[in-house]
Amino acid sequence: MDNRRNRSYTPVVSEFEEKVVQVNRVSKKTKGGNKIGFSVLVVVGDKKGRVGVGLGGAPDVSSAVKKAVLYARKHLFTVPMKKTTIPHVVFVKLGAAKIMLKPAPPGAGVIAGGPVRSVVEAAGIRDIVSKILGTKNKASNVYATMEALKKLKPARVAKA
């Protein structure tokens, strides 16, 4: 009797939220014709302050997503937070992308464009104001946002 039929399937429950930001169809000219593939940008976060980003490429989208998620999980980092927002204003220029992140009062929500929003929400930041000033390229803006979050310094604790 086949053992595989007897096992009950239990889905893997992940503590991480995965958000596909961009799917790109890429092609390479070869002697045999065009070789088509996909490049996928994924943001992974636990909504508790840890976030990572991954770029995966494969002949099909699902394999590319798996590669991107695997890379993102290996390269997670912790974002310093002050309650539900960030400790201070940060401005980053990375290539053509310019990103500005500002702390917001409780209840303001996430005021951010698509690529920045996906990174910030995955990190678990609930109140923030941001502005994309440079390029409209999603990948560049995601990487610039990650760099901005890495530049944050933890808030100083006031002594009584």
Find the mean pLDDT for residues 106-131: 93
Amino acid at 93: K
**What does the pLDDT read at residue 131?**
95
Residue 60's CATH number = 3.30.160.20
Helix (H) or strand (E) holding 15: none
Q: Are residues 143 and 84 located together in one domain of the fold? A: yes
Beta bridge partners of 130: 101
Strands of the 97-103 sheet, one edge to the other: 90-94, 97-103, 128-132, 110-111
pLDDT band at residue 56 under the 50/70/90 scheme: very high
Q: Give Dmax over CA atoms of the chain in angstroms.
A: 73
Contact yes or no for 72/53 (Cβ under 8 A): yes
CB atoms within 10 A of CB 74: 10
**What does the pLDDT read at residue 156?**
76
Provide the percentage of residues in the chain whose pLDDT is more than 90: 81
Q: Which domain holds residue 38?
A: 17-77
* Whether residue 146 has pLDDT greater than 80: yes
The count of structural domains within the chain is 2
Residue 86's CATH number = 3.30.230.10
Find the mean pLDDT for residues 97-121: 94
pLDDT band at residue 12 under the 50/70/90 scheme: low
Q: Are residues 65 and 88 located together in one domain of the fold? A: no
Is 40 a member of any domain? yes
Q: Are residues 28 and 58 located together in one domain of the fold? A: yes
Is 83 a member of any domain? yes
Tell which of 77, 92, 116 closes a domain.
77
